[in-house]
Chain A
């Protein structure tokens, strides 16, 4: 018997979270409708790099049905940072400089917003866009890291000489790498290219803004970081934070893309100008062409080992392909160094990252924030080293994984718990690692291979960022509670998980936790949903708030029952005396008589808490896969995946399993299919919709998936939980890349591993 009523048990989504989605009645930002609402549309630059010499909006303004046309001249000339310029950093050094205007007078990529209209409907709005006359002076443009770094390359920003947006040294370097390499028995080195990846969520980017007669701004947005968004908007429009309310309805997927700010300030400016609510909804082409993608990076790694496999030196050099604005590439690139150099124990480490501006779509965050990129490179280097050393890849990793108490990957904060070694051992056994590798034959048209990757991630970004969340819980007369929280809800079913945490502590059912959420005016501060932190950080705030509410509940009950609070406990909606369970009251009875107290001692039993995380409890795991490569067509079929995950105590196995399956799917897409194609001459994004940009579907999923939880509590997570959302995909691509090598003996140093690339590589191998 479990000691818990709800924690650790599979729980379907709360009715309020699941039912509206299944019936199609859930309100997303794209569904928001307000009386008198206008449609906003954005005129985007067709040039990758151009000065705007003249804009004439008079014709557009005269079109019947057009209510406002804005250009850079009508918008506060305030530079902003799409990734929120002063998201408070606990460690310093890599803040994104504000480098972007809401509407620009110099276009820096195809799709850069240059003007906007508000009109009575979409047709008029689109017609109006055509009537805006813009005279551009096209400038030479650069689309790749190499071109942007050439000495005579056009300068994209005045502040960034040589198009270097940032040059960051690995802040946690240790020892002396040169000495380490000199002492190494075996040194491996390789340069890899990891590509962009699109969030590809279903709900398009959208925003509705309304300014009431007092000047209070309400913004409906799918942004994952609602409070930081409010802060940045306040700066752009010189408003106090309290005059802006950011409302987050259901979010139709985010995957990190929605960590940043997009059309929100344009919608607000149009609403301010017209006095009407204005809604902007991106087309899918706009989504694919203008939302931040995962960064692409060119990564060189050098690693030195002793004969017995001990890693003693590691060096990384990263060129991060940022787009026209630094955006989250500014952080994702440098953090790639931390994931890569901080995963395994190593006494001598060193690294640097150049974030390079180009005239392309801004790049930034996506699920894993640099870790799938780092993993793809470092886990392949580990396999290359294993081969050279003559050590099994499994053994090589076991030799070098960190233990609890050692410094975490994100800096000096110690690892609270890790069972990475256990994950690796169990995974190897479940996939039949040793037997299958012994039996393997490198012949025939279809060849099979096994691959693995080990993983360490984070539960929230402390100590890199502040990790602050809050929660309020109040009892209703019926014994249910309202839980007021505000991370964004991008489909991870975190309401359910957080309700399970509250319900466990309060002795009620999760369905009796009514979640109240979705606005910065209603809820206390929450940084948002990112960095696999919602269960870990918001969960701790919820637990603290529940403890306080429970304390008040028991105190009140003790007065009613005439016993001390210590003698009481609560379970299944009832407070009772531990020694005599027949003596008790339902929570409803207590709550009701507390709210409606005829003696005049009324109050509302409630708890509130803020949680400021000071810990790093990295989730760890291992991914094992078996693939089959058709050597005539180059096609790769993923046959099986075994994922062993240490995400602390699993609160809801159902949602965690869902995360991992989704992570496998997204990882397979990253490894094999997803290709963000930018035209080399025009800078236009060619893969601008789902027909051209292919993501994996059910058909690409392996037939066999085995997911195993270590399920050991972490000392700091709520009920021992750690994060899992991003870890679900971190090592997937690396494991596939290693398996492809195992199958055909050719290592492709660039994702996606397409059939075309495989055949080319096989031919080159034949030629020798």
Chain B
């Protein structure tokens, strides 16, 4: 029932390198502060202990969203609200827009950054699920080098990422979407401004009515966000016939490992993976004009 923040050191590096060095030197004792939505609440509630915060808000050049031949590029300080209001995101990456738009608290979107949302490694993230379905890459900077990693490999467990000591995420790259791409994002919540009980993002590449490629990403149903690979297999190469969709939905429900918590039950979540996966694919069919 505590209220005050515990005392901590506060750093304001001016460059990524400086930030990275601080993270390397202090290791687990410090955390990166970008928007602070999740971090400050968790410190206050004593869910995490920190001795220092490395605030990256003063580092120039990290607040951007732009699209070029490599895809959509998002900086580490770009807020969810900026992305939601970006024409490129709204028009060309609708799946990401829909996920952000489904977060109803504008205050949270004004404070929170997309990268921060990914780095807190919550399995319930709407943004992470949609970016997983979009094959997003994480741009990571370390003390002496930079690297890139698929979002899919970024999570090791609940609130655990693959970041090494001294590393921080500087941006996200979402590759260009192939022609014939369609997406659908769906989620279930207790109330509109709540965190998802279950969320699903499906992206499919359709050619001549056939499903050439597909991604099914699920949230809040396992320790990390997950891809339903067996379900994807059930759809790949089909014409998204009703039986294939039902089969994929069934498989998706088998692939997850949900828990019961204050928001929902394991049983309900598993059942809803089935319903939402089916509905998401059906929505894609409607948008793509696929019959049957």
Q: Can you name the residue of chain A whose Cβ is closest to the Cβ of B264?
A: A756
Known A696-B191, A699-B193, A700-B192: A755·B268 in contact at CB below 8 Å? yes
Do A686 and B262 have beta carbons less than 8 Å apart?
yes
Do A126 and B191 have beta carbons less than 8 Å apart?
no
Do A44 and B1 have beta carbons less than 8 Å apart?
yes
Q: How far is the CA of A294 from the CA of B232 in the complex (A)?
A: 48
Q: Can you name the residue of chain A whose Cβ is closest to the Cβ of B3?
A: A283
Cβ-based interface call for B15 (8 A): no
Do B104 and A699 have beta carbons less than 8 Å apart?
yes
Cβ-based interface call for A285 (8 A): yes
Q: Can you name the residue of chain B whose Cβ is closest to the Cβ of A125?
A: B4
Q: Which candidate, A544-552, A687-695, A727-735, is the interface stretch facing chain B? A: A687-695
Residues of B within 8 A of A123 (CB): 4, 7
Do B2 and A755 have beta carbons less than 8 Å apart?
no
B residues 185-204 touching A (CB-CB < 8 Å): 188, 190-195
A residues 665-684 touching B (CB-CB < 8 Å): 673, 675, 677
Do B194 and A756 have beta carbons less than 8 Å apart?
no
Q: How far is the CA of A691 from the CA of B42 in the complex (A)?
A: 12
Render A413-456 as a binary contact track against B, CB cut-off 8 A, 1 for contact.
00000000000000000000000000000000000000000000
Cβ-based interface call for B153 (8 A): no
Cβ-based interface call for A633 (8 A): yes
CB distance from B1 to the nearest CB of A (A): 4
Cβ-based interface call for A265 (8 A): no
Q: Can you name the residue of chain A whose Cβ is closest to the Cβ of B265?
A: A756
A residues 692-719 touching B (CB-CB < 8 Å): 692, 694-697, 699-700
Do A687 and B262 have beta carbons less than 8 Å apart?
yes
Say which residue of B1, B4, B191, B272 sits within 8 Å of A700 (CB atoms).
B191
CB distance from A359 to the nearest CB of B (A): 17
Q: How far is the CA of A633 from the CA of B200 in the complex (A)?
A: 14
Say which residue of B2, B188, B262, B267 sits within 8 Å of A633 (CB atoms).
B188
A residues 107-150 touching B (CB-CB < 8 Å): 111, 122-123, 126
Residues of A within 8 A of B193 (CB): 697, 699
Do A694 and B1 have beta carbons less than 8 Å apart?
no
Q: Can you name the residue of chain A whose Cβ is closest to the Cβ of B198?
A: A633
Q: Can you name the residue of chain B whose Cβ is closest to the Cβ of A287?
A: B1
Q: How far is the CA of A136 from the CA of B271 in the complex (A)?
A: 45
B residues 51-66 touching A (CB-CB < 8 Å): none
Residues of B within 8 A of A694 (CB): 190-191, 194
Render B1-25 as a binary contact track against A, CB cut-off 8 A, 1 for contact.
1111001000000000000000000
Q: How far is the CA of A290 from the CA of B188 in the complex (A)?
A: 31
Say which residue of B2, B262, B264 sits within 8 Å of A126 (CB atoms).
B2
Cβ-based interface call for A26 (8 A): no
Do A283 and B188 have beta carbons less than 8 Å apart?
no
Residues of A within 8 A of B271 (CB): 759
Cβ-based interface call for A632 (8 A): yes
Do B191 and A695 have beta carbons less than 8 Å apart?
yes
Cβ-based interface call for B259 (8 A): no
Do B1 and A286 have beta carbons less than 8 Å apart?
yes
Residues of B within 8 A of A285 (CB): 1-3, 45
Interface size on A, residues (CB 8 A): 33
Do A111 and B1 have beta carbons less than 8 Å apart?
yes
Name the prevailing secondary structure of the B interface residues.
Answer: loop
Do A699 and B191 have beta carbons less than 8 Å apart?
yes
B residues 222-280 touching A (CB-CB < 8 Å): 262, 264-265, 267-268, 271-272, 275
Most chain-A CB neighbours within 10 Å: which of B264, B265, B268? B268
Residues of A within 8 A of B194 (CB): 691, 694
Do B192 and A126 have beta carbons less than 8 Å apart?
no
A residues 598-640 touching B (CB-CB < 8 Å): 632-635
Render A162-187 as a binary contact track against B, CB cut-off 8 A, 1 for contact.
00000000000000000000000000
Render A257-286 as a binary contact track against B, CB cut-off 8 A, 1 for contact.
000000000000000000000000101011
Q: Can you name the residue of chain B whose Cβ is closest to the Cβ of A129?
A: B2
CB distance from B286 to the nearest CB of A (A): 15
Q: How far is the CA of A673 from the CA of B263 in the complex (A)?
A: 10
Q: How far is the CA of A635 from the CA of B271 in the complex (A)?
A: 13
Do B188 and A697 have beta carbons less than 8 Å apart?
no
Do B268 and A759 have beta carbons less than 8 Å apart?
yes
Cβ-based interface call for A289 (8 A): yes
Q: How far is the CA of A111 from the CA of B2 in the complex (A)?
A: 12
Residues of B within 8 A of A122 (CB): 3-4
Residues of A within 8 A of B267 (CB): 756
Q: How far is the CA of A673 from the CA of B197 in the complex (A)?
A: 13
Known A673-B190, A699-B192: A633·B1 in contact at CB below 8 Å? no
Q: How far is the CA of A688 from the CA of B264 in the complex (A)?
A: 16
B residues 163-205 touching A (CB-CB < 8 Å): 188, 190-195
Do A289 and B191 have beta carbons less than 8 Å apart?
no
Residues of B within 8 A of A691 (CB): 194-195
Q: Can you name the residue of chain B whose Cβ is closest to the Cβ of A763?
A: B271
Say which residue of B3, B262, B272, B275 sits within 8 Å of A692 (CB atoms).
B262
Q: Can you name the residue of chain A whose Cβ is closest to the Cβ of B188?
A: A633
Known A699-B191, A700-B191: A283·B1 in contact at CB below 8 Å? yes
CB distance from A293 to the nearest CB of B (A): 16
Q: How far is the CA of A75 from the CA of B281 in the complex (A)?
A: 66
Residues of B within 8 A of A281 (CB): 3
Known A687-B262, A692-B262, A694-B191: A289·B3 in contact at CB below 8 Å? no
Q: Can you name the residue of chain B whose Cβ is closest to the Cβ of A121?
A: B4
Do B188 and A126 have beta carbons less than 8 Å apart?
no
Residues of A within 8 A of B272 (CB): 633
Q: How far is the CA of A123 from the CA of B262 in the complex (A)?
A: 31
Q: Can you name the residue of chain A whose Cβ is closest to the Cβ of B104?
A: A699
Q: How far is the CA of A116 from the CA of B191 in the complex (A)?
A: 37
Do A289 and B1 have beta carbons less than 8 Å apart?
yes
Q: How far is the CA of A755 from the CA of B267 in the complex (A)?
A: 12
Q: How far is the CA of A193 from the CA of B271 in the complex (A)?
A: 26
Known A123-B7, A692-B262: A635·B2 in contact at CB below 8 Å? no
Residues of A within 8 A of B264 (CB): 756
Do B191 and A632 have beta carbons less than 8 Å apart?
no
Q: How far is the CA of A123 from the CA of B4 in the complex (A)?
A: 7
CB distance from B167 to the nearest CB of A (A): 29
Q: How far is the CA of A675 from the CA of B267 in the complex (A)?
A: 19
The 9 closest A-B pairs by CB, nearest first: A699-B192, A283-B3, A285-B1, A694-B191, A756-B268, A286-B1, A694-B190, A122-B4, A632-B275
Contacts A/B (CB < 8 Å), 26 sampled: A44-B1, A123-B4, A285-B1, A286-B1, A286-B3, A290-B1, A632-B275, A633-B272, A633-B275, A673-B190, A675-B262, A677-B262, A687-B262, A694-B190, A695-B191, A696-B191, A697-B104, A697-B192, A699-B191, A699-B192, A699-B193, A700-B191, A754-B190, A755-B188, A756-B267, A756-B268
Known A281-B3, A285-B1, A286-B3; 20 more pairs at CB < 8 Å: A111-B1, A123-B4, A283-B1, A283-B2, A286-B1, A290-B1, A675-B262, A677-B262, A687-B262, A688-B1, A691-B195, A692-B262, A694-B190, A695-B191, A696-B191, A699-B104, A700-B192, A754-B190, A756-B267, A756-B268
